Amino acid sequence: MDAQRSGRVNILIIPSWYPSDDNPIAGIFIHQQAKALKKEGHDVVVLAITQARYPKPLYEELYEGVQVFRQEIGFEAEGRSFLKKKIDGVKYRKMWLTGMRDDYCAAYENICKQRFIPDIIHVHALWPAGLGAAQISKKYKIPFVITEHSEEYARDSKRKLIRTPGMLPLVLRPVAHKASAYIAVSHAFARRLEELGLADSVKVVPNVVPDRESVEPYPEVSGRISFVHVSQAGPAKNLEMLLDAVKVLSKKRSDFLLTIAGVGESTDALIEKAKQTGLFETYVKFLGKVDPSGVNDLLDKYMFGVISSKSETFSVFAAECLMAGRPVLSTRCGGPEDFLNAKVGHLVANNDSRAMAAGMDWMLDHYREFDPQELNAFAREHFSPEIVCEQLIKIYEGVLSDGE
């Protein structure tokens, strides 16, 4: 509490995913928030425990200036029969659910030995990190808050978390209700979490987007007008629909080129579809893997960004576009609707290829009406590290004051 009174808060961040050298994309928005809090003068430590085939004991590293304790929990052995693996798999799931609490507490004790005692724990994504945080909170009397990011909770998500029998009422809700505050990254997502009974009142704090104090003007058009989509190309991004929209638009005009950057589970199928429909390299280009640090430079080369998602909890890409001084064309998919309006972009109907084609057609003719400097100023006002951290610290201080 002394730290809280002095305006400096000791924050232990426990994420369900966190970037690493092997996977620099996973949870990058969580890492950006950790860096922002640290830059604002708060003490920040990250405890990232992940499930893995082979266990790895707790170790410490400095990841882009943030102190991170990592541990991989799991078990595996060579030479086991198929049946033995199936039997062990059942035992493993039970062991992981019950033993994870102990792993988190043991890791927490090791962190405390490094003379870091948190005032508050900030969980990012309830499952599975919330389970460990709740146990630490109970045992060591440290309050915790949760920021939810996961698309698992989206109404049309095909993922299994809340569709697993008993998971929502018996596991997720009880853990969520132990948190001192539940935060969502957009208002639409907050309403969904309340609808699921995870909290009675969900606060809204957007993701951090690194500041850009200056932006580049639109590049000169050489041949075709280029615009871009950046993501990990998962099913929720609905890129099949985007390709359908490009096909529709190609029948009307030929002065454009869409670049899809990033690699994911849908990439191969998308490339095949683009080839079969005659779009590949003519109207659609696939850039491949993009390093997170290179997104800013990438955006400078394009006129606007496009989002075709069925559902977004926030859309870091949309916010990054605005920070880079580029307008955004997006479906009405939840998160982006918090901040995209006629002054910074253009919204179209969800999961409608003809509506998306019309939107692309409009944006190709009107993107220069959006001033890059004004877009950047808007983004800094809404997503800059200073702005987001101010909102978070108010929540932390309210929680800590309630505990006095």
* 121 residue type, one letter: I
- Do 130 and 59 lie in one domain? The reply is yes
Same domain? For 355 and 390 the reply is no
In a domain, 129, yes or no: yes
- Dmax (CA) for the chain in angstroms is 66
Q: Has residue 74 got a pLDDT over 70? A: no
| Whether residue 282 sits in one domain with residue 192 | no
Kindly report the pTM of this predicted structure: 0.91
pLDDT at 82 over 50: no
CATH number of the domain at 149, please.
Answer: 3.40.50.2000
**Tally of CA atoms within 13 A in the half-sphere of 324 that contains its CB:** 24
What is residue 353's three-state secondary structure? Answer: helix
Side chain identity at residue 189, one-letter code: F
Q: 330 and 191, same structural domain?
A: no
Cis bond upstream, residue 217 (ω within 30): no
Asked if 375 and 398 sit in the same domain, the reply is no
Condensed to tens digits (0 to 9), the pLDDT of residues 125-169 reads: 999 999 999 999 999 999 999 999 999 998 888 788 999 999 999
Is 80 exceeded by the pLDDT of residue 52? no
Amino acid (1-letter code) at residue 230: V
Does residue 288 share a domain with residue 245? yes
Q: What is the pLDDT of residue 155?
A: 85
In a domain? residue 296: yes
Same-domain status, 397 and 375: no
Does any domain span residue 360? yes
- 215, part of any domain: no
Is residue 373 pLDDT above 90, yes or no?
Answer: yes
DSSP assignment, residue 153?
A: G
Please answer whether residues 281 and 256 qualify as being in contact, where contact means their C-beta atoms are separated by less than 8 angstroms: no
101, 132 in Cβ contact below 8 A? yes
216 lies in some domain: no
**Is 259 among the domain residues?**
yes
Domain with 376 in it: 225-383
Query: Is the domain of 189 the same as that of 239?
Result: no
Residue 214 lies in a domain: no
One domain, residues 350 and 388 = no
Q: 149, 160, 275, 286: which is closest to 231 by C-alpha?
A: 286
What is the tens place of the pLDDT at every residue in 227-280?
999 999 989 999 999 999 999 999 999 999 999 999 999 999 999 999 999 999
Residues 152, 156: Cα–Cα separation, whole Å: 9
Range with the lowest mean pLDDT among 73-82, 103-112, 126-135, 303-312?
Answer: 73-82
Do 197 and 81 sit in the same domain of this protein? yes
Q: Are residues 52 and 184 in the same domain?
A: yes
Q: Verify that 280 and 336 share a domain, yes or no.
A: yes
Position 218 in a domain: no
Q: Report how many domains make up the chain.
A: 2
